[in-house]
Amino acid sequence: MKKGILAVSFGTSHIDTMEKTIDVLEKEFAKTFEEAVVYRAFTSNMIIKKLKRTANIKVQTVGEALEKMAADGIEEVIVQPTHVINGIENDRMLQEVMEHMHLFRKVYVGKPLLSSVEDYKKAIHAVMEKTVIGEDEMLVLMGHGTDHHANSAYPTLEYTFHSLGYQQVLVGTVESFPDLRNVMAKLEISGRKKVVLMPFMFVAGDHAKNDMAGEEDSWKSELEEKGYEVRVILKGLGEFEGIRKIFAEHIEEAEM
């Protein structure tokens, strides 16, 4: 039976971070699961259109990619998202998968990054083992945030950091709760005046470069206005080997 893996990402129009994250992960999938052909899909139609317009790069939607896989003779499909949480984008992906299941003999779906307590622990250790923070610094992670109930993953993430002994880590989101104001209240309590900003997103794209690290109207500029010394680590989660390993494990678990 011909097998295929569909790697599904929200997507990014920033080629530099795509090459360090999505490209690397897909190559590792191909190497680890040699019996399968790896395909790519993005869930953001806006990014798909922008890539075609600005870089002449064609990326398929989930539905288009599944139809291509069926046309190529793939009979067994594993759909693996690179989403951080089980939120809106993951729900949309699942809907498209369900609409195309009839094209295949077998369809498996892997879980997003933070889907179990063990996932949280593994993800935290994967990040902290490769991130150097001074004793006088606080690490502030910027997640995306969502209106979806899965947004509870972000407060849970911070709680888990602290329970594992990483007390110098705070988690905020750019579009939901906790926001920068919540983070700044905790920074004030900590007494530390040095902050390290890093995205907790699979790619370090628009949100990371502009909303987090931009020179104006950003987390960096607001923190600096409040007197904090800010250092930026512009590194997407997909650049961490340990994070990519979790996604590979989710593929293996999906087949069980």
Residue 13 phi/psi, 5-degree rounding, is -95, 0
Give the count of alpha carbons within 13 A of 122, CB side only. 17
Choosing from 83, 100, 144, 250, the catalytic residue is 144
Torsion angle of C-alpha atoms 82, 27, 48, 251, degrees rounded to 10: -30
Question: In sequence order, what are the residues at sequence separation of 6 or more whose Cβ sits closer than 8 angstroms to the Cβ of residue 83?
Answer: 8, 9, 10, 89, 90, 93, 112, 113, 202
Residue 205 phi/psi, 5-degree rounding, is -105, -135
> Is 19 within any annotated ligand binding site?
no
| Spatial separation of the C-alpha atoms in residues 201 and 33, rounded to whole Å | 25
Indicate the SS3 state at residue 6.
strand
Is-contact 202 208, C-beta < 8 A? no
> Is 75 within any annotated ligand binding site?
no
Known catalytic residue: 250? no
Show the tokens assigned to 194.
Answer: 């040095």
> Is 125 within any annotated ligand binding site?
no
Catalogue the active-site residues: 144
Binding residues for Co(2+): 144, 175, 207
